Structure formats: structure tokens, C-alpha cells
Amino acid sequence: MSLAGRTIVITGGGRGLGRAFAEACAAASSDAIVVADIRADWGEATAEALRKAGADAAFLAVDLGDPKSIEAFAAEVEARYGRIDGLVNNGAIATGIGGKTFEEIEVETWDRVMAVNVRGTWLMTRAMAPLLRKSTLGGRIVNIASDTALWGAPRLLHYVGSKGAVISMTRSLARELGPDGIAVNAIAPGLVLVEATEYVPPERHRLYVDGRAMQRPQMPDDVTGAVVFLLGQGAGFVTGQLLPVNGGFVFN
């Protein structure tokens, strides 16, 4: 589970699961951590906390909805680090978009979710691929999907559709990047208690807790171990896989 010698990029790393992933990578002795986020206040706070804990961490701003921003981000990462060893595609629009039926979702909201969650994941992967190919330890990509795409969560079609696309993209990318020794996998967390899910109604939280094999709320630390494993040396021959991490709410 050691990430010694590895430089890891985490999108949406400023808060919630992204911050938990960054902290877990630091605890696993990652060589350097790049916290990527659209919010400078969140990103800087996370990077500063990691540095105070002894990690080599930096914040770099990126807007996953803006292709030029992703290109500029990639250029800055290359200039600073030369190569990377892992990419966690965590950044996504999730907050405040649920509750509407498929007939009520606005086209503008649909397009924004797809631009960030789907196109942004593709473009970030494309931008980081040349740097992952330079890894001497074996490149790793972990895409953060969602179990909503596995059980078909209602009143959330745009988000569910975007995460279903991420799952399919993971399998295709695994085949395209496999010849370069880059492993590409996805995890599908359940409803995790983070800032992004504070808007979720109590009845949806109860649905998850009552429906899990392990009937308790899901915390960020329940998810980080799977990501650290998939970023590390032991997962070098694991690729194209989807791992639900949700306490048994759905089985894959």
C-alpha cells in the first residue's frame, strides 16, 4: 500500500472525498501530491494542511469544464514535476443537482454536468497521459464513478448518466493505455458523508444505510483504501475494473 516515489494528481482535491484521497496518499508516503481544484480557497487549504503534516503538496487551479484550463494545468504539472505516476479523476459536479425528474432537468444543467464529469475526465486523462507514460513505476489512473450508475438512482439522471459514462470510459481507456503499462480502474462509492452530499434528503440517506449489507453511514475513510491500493505497486496488473465501495448496497 506504499506510494513511495509516486507523484499523484487528484482533481477535486480541495474538499470532501478529494481531500480524503490526498490525505491518504500522504499517509502512504506519496512522493508528491498535486491538489487540483477550481476553488483556490479549498485547494490551498488542503495543500497547506498536507505540507504542515510533512507532505510535499502543491495546489494548482483547474476548471474541468474548460479545455484550455486543463491544457494550462498539464503544462504547469509538466514544468514542475516532469512526469506523474498516478491520476485520480475525482472532480465532478454533484452538489445541489438532485431531486428533479428526467423531465424537469434543464438542458443547461445537463450540459454542464456532462462537460465537467464526462468530458473533463476524458480531457484530464488525455492531458496527463504523456506524463503518466514517463513513470518508471507504472502509471495508474483511478476514476471516481458512483454506485448510482449501478442501481439506477432516480431523480438524478444527468449525474447517473455521467458516472455510467465514466465506467464505460474506464474500460476503453484500459485497453488503449494498457500497452503503455498504465492501469486504469474505477471505484463506485455509495453515499458518503461529505460536504457534497449535505443537500441529499434524509430519506435517501436512510435508503442507503438500510439497504447496505453493512448498515451504517459511509465515511470518506471507507473509500480511501481502495484508491491507495489501485494507485500502488500491488495493482499493476489490475486494469479495466470497477470496484463498488459502498458497504454492500449493490454487488458488482
Alpha carbon distance 63, 116 (integer Å)? 8
Enumerate the domain spans of the chain. 7-245
Contact indicator for 214, 34 with CB cutoff of 8 Å: no
199 is catalytic: no
Alpha carbon distance 178, 163 (integer Å)? 22
The predicted pLDDT at position 157 comes to 97
Summarize pLDDT for 73-113 with one digit per residue, the tens: 999 999 999 999 999 999 999 988 989 999 999 999 999 99
Alpha carbon distance 22, 221 (integer Å)? 11
Q: Which strands sit side by side in the sheet containing 32-37, from one edge to the other?
A: 57-61, 32-37, 7-11, 86-89, 140-144, 183-189, 242-245
Q: 196 pLDDT exceeds 80? A: no
Any idea which architecture 7-245 has in CATH? 3-Layer(aba) Sandwich (3.40)
Q: How far is CA 161 from CA 3, 39, 155, in A?
A: 32, 25, 11
Please report the DSSP string for 115-173 in residue order: IIIIIHHHHHHHHHHHHHTT-SS--EEEEE--THHHHT-SS-HHHHHHHHHHHHHHHHH
* Residue 9: alpha-carbon gap to chain centroid: 10
Alpha carbon distance 109, 115 (integer Å)? 10
Q: Which helix (H) or strand (E) segment is 89 a member of?
A: strand 86-89
Q: How far is CA 115 from CA 9, 38, 178, 192, in A?
A: 20, 14, 26, 23
Percent of the chain residues past pLDDT 70, beyond the cut: 100
The predicted pLDDT at position 152 comes to 96
How many Cβ atoms are within 10 Å of 103's Cβ, its own excluded? 6
Question: What is the Cα gyration radius of the chain?
Answer: 17
Q: 234 pLDDT exceeds 90? A: yes
Active-site hit among 81, 159, 199, 208: 159
| C-alpha cell at position 176 | 488503449
Burial class of residue 95 (count of CB atoms within 10 Å of its CB; 0-12, 13-18, 19+): middle
Summarize pLDDT for 207-221 with one digit per residue, the tens: 999 999 999 999 999
Instruction: Report residue 100: phi and psi, to 5°.
Output: -100, 140
Single-letter residue type at 217: P
Summarize pLDDT for 8-58 with one digit per residue, the tens: 999 999 999 999 999 999 999 999 999 999 999 999 999 999 999 999 999
